[in-house]
Amino acid sequence: MSVTSVRFYQDENVLGGLLSGTELSISTLQLHHSYHCEGLDELRALTVNRSDSARKETFCLQVPPCIPPYRVPAPPPGLSPVALPTVPVANATITPSPPAHQVHTCDPVTLRCSVQVGSAPVTFTWMHNGREVARGPILELGDVSVGHSGTYQCMATNQLGQDGHRVFRALSPELALEVTPQGNWNRAVAPGVGESLLFLVFLVGVVVGGHQWNNIAARKHQERAPPDSLAPPEEGEVLYTHVVSTKQMG
């Protein structure tokens, strides 16, 4: 028997057309399927129906699903073993939405955690002020309040090795979130400004009123004060105040 062409199957689906070679390269991610091939030889005349003239022989290769430790059992002689790479998690980061770290009450806030590398499955754990609050890659805070303020951190973990006994962790940098009440600053500042202006007006009134009162008191004091008495004459000075002439009675 002379095999002239080969056809490969994934489960019951044909992988491409007829091949002249006897090898098929597949991705390691497709090893959880069942594969088989069939070889065709055509020894009869071409005028005969191809389906009747083709004698088929099937060679089956069963590949089991990939489970930890992620290595397919030893292949048949002549084939190389296939091993899936395992990568620990690393470089966890938090992406906030909206991006601003300072938000107002009732603003919708969503935090997303991701890792740069890491073999699946990866578990994400959220912490708020050091306490675990949720799990999963996305943390929905919804309409935030002042109580949502604080620091947030995400921890990513995956388990590798035989039976998953090796646990790897990646901790993201802390994200500080500050929630400020809407309008509280204006309501707090406006009364303070009003009180300051009122005190300033009162102070100006006191100063002006005191100044006017001092002026009035000074004028009244000047009106009521007696005229200044004559100063005593200096030495060598003759002061004539009043002269009365009298006649002697003879």
Tens digits of pLDDT across the chain (250 residues):
555 667 777 777 777 655 555 666 665 555 566 777 776 655 432 232 333 334 444 444 443 443 344 444 565 666 655 555 688 899 999 999 888 667 888 888 999 999 988 888 899 999 999 999 999 999 998 888 888 899 999 999 998 876 667 889 999 999 998 888 876 544 333 445 456 667 677 777 777 776 676 677 666 666 665 555 555 555 555 555 555 555 555 4
User: What pLDDT shows up at residue 157?
Assistant: 93
Token output for 173: 């940098």
Count of CB atoms within 10 A of residue 231's CB?
Answer: 7
Q: Which amino acid is at 36?
A: H
Specify burial of residue 135 (Cβ count, 10 A radius: 0-12, 13-18, 19+).
exposed
User: What pLDDT shows up at residue 41?
Assistant: 58
User: What pLDDT shows up at residue 8?
Assistant: 73
CA–CA gap between residue 170 and residue 153 (Å, rounded): 11
CATH of 90-180, one of 2.60.40.1220, 3.40.50.970, 2.60.40.10, 1.20.120.160: 2.60.40.10
Q: Where are the domains of the chain?
A: 5-62, 90-180
The residues with which 103 forms a beta bridge, in sequence order, are 179
